[in-house]
Amino acid sequence: MSFLVKDKNFYKVLFSITLPIAAQNFITFTVSLADSLMLGKVGEIALSGANLANQLFFILMIVTFGVTSAAMVFASQYWGKDDVYSMKRVITIMLRLAAVISVIASALAICIPETVMSWYSDDPDVIEAGASYLRIIGWAYPFYSLTNAMASVLRSAHIVKISIVIYLSSLIVNVSLNWILIFGNLGAPVMGVRGAALATAVARCVEFIILLIYLAFFEKKIHYTFKDLFVPVKDYLGAFVKTGAPVVLNEAVWSIGTSVLSMIIGHISTEFVSANSIANIIWQCVWVVVSGMGNATSVVIGNAIGKGENKELVLNKAKTIVLLAAIMGILSAVTLIIIRGPVINFYEVSAETKALAYDLIVSYAVIIVFQAMSVQYIVGIFRGGGDTKTAAVVDVFFLWTVAIPLGAFTGLILGWAPPFVYLMLRSDELFKNIVGFLRLKSGKWIRDITVHSLENS
């Protein structure tokens, strides 16, 4: 394996970014796990309602991630060039877009929650539970989007520890309020699914406040201020749209497609929804590191191109990362199989749902090996390298042309068992890896997409 990078600093930087992001992801996952476990004690209707209601948040999260990823493509390369002036302009574009998108999502959640829920379920009880959740959580969407976008783009400058502080604080607030509000402890009213929504909404506000305090008093590398929100950015907008639009469109179309997968699952059975909710939580236990590495890869590749490193070295770094991801994917699959039993037994759901979740994890384990590599290709290497169009096409084409049709056909028409339906719903991951590998070898994804800084003009 002559392509393996020998420079120890490469691994040090890669994992110094990966591990804090993984820690942040794990904290976020723990919040989801706490919500799931506590709502599971309320009942399957509450669990399914909240899970399906969060599909709107999932779309918001992914679209926000798209806007942030677009900004990080530029920010990472600008940071490699020591061009903070241009980096701040890109952050301004990102925050403005995140604000608009989150307000739209809030309007849907607050104004037409029953309509949103009807997209995912025919069960009137599930729709009612989910709608009550959306009416409350919708108010917190803007706080989430702005906090997540800013905390994420700071990674381009290797600022990662503040994310842990933000989300650890959020975890403490969310879990504590869940315990109080869902079950009516400490004299509070028993709010059930509405209590879970209120707890999460308060936690999102806490995240936002901590971020503002950090930016105002502690952040010393970028020095982004409130005034920067209002600076002219038209000279950067064209380049951002050209390179960033495919990323945003990619995440928007991909999130809608993934939401369609949830619709298919929701229309098969409520038991499948509950079992998939449990399996997804277990999957997140191991996904946090893989996902963290994908984000770190984007920064490492972007910084390398921004610094002007030669093409062969950048290519070798990318190949090394994919190999590491393959190993990580196999280890993740084994871990899923090992921990599925103990985690599933925490849930107070029917024996049928537990058995279904137990079998479903095997399908998750198969798929995660491919996912571990595909996230490096799409989120890390191609986006970090500036080849956002290829990343977009690879990510959404097979989802819509292969996974969704196969999943709908085998699940809704043929009536296959859920574990096999899930394999069909994620069959696009295999094709992503084939195309991703071929594109990686070509080296055509390595592009410097930064524009000249206005500071020197």
> Quick one: pLDDT at residue 120?
82
Question: CA separation (Å) from 171 to 8, 33, 34, 166?
Answer: 34, 11, 9, 9
Instruction: Give the sign of the dihedral formed by CA 72, CA 384, CA 252, CA 52.
Output: negative
Question: CA separation (Å) from 373 to 10, 179, 381, 385?
Answer: 19, 38, 10, 16
> Residue 51 is encoded by which pair of tokens?
């899970």
Q: Are 292 and 354 in contact (CB under 8 A)?
A: no
Question: What size, in residues, is the chain?
Answer: 457
> Quick one: pLDDT at residue 48?
82
Q: What is the largest CA-CA distance in the chain?
A: 68
Q: Each residue's pLDDT tens digit in the chain (457 positions)?
A: 778 888 899 999 899 889 888 888 788 777 777 777 788 777 778 878 887 888 888 888 888 888 898 898 899 999 989 999 999 999 999 999 999 999 999 999 999 999 999 988 888 888 998 899 999 999 999 999 999 999 989 999 989 889 889 989 998 999 999 999 989 999 888 888 899 999 999 999 999 999 999 999 999 899 999 999 999 998 888 888 888 889 888 888 887 888 899 889 988 988 898 899 889 888 988 888 898 999 899 999 999 999 989 999 999 999 999 999 999 999 999 999 999 998 888 877 888 899 999 999 999 999 999 999 999 999 999 999 999 999 999 999 999 999 999 999 999 999 999 999 999 999 999 999 999 999 999 999 999 888 554 444 3
Q: Are 157 and 222 in contact (CB under 8 A)?
A: yes
Quote the CA–CA distance of 81 and 453 in Å, as a whole number. Answer: 10
Instruction: Give the sign of the dihedral formed by CA 432, CA 438, CA 440, CA 444.
Output: negative
Question: CA separation (Å) from 230 to 68, 91, 214?
Answer: 19, 11, 20
> Quick one: pLDDT at residue 278?
87
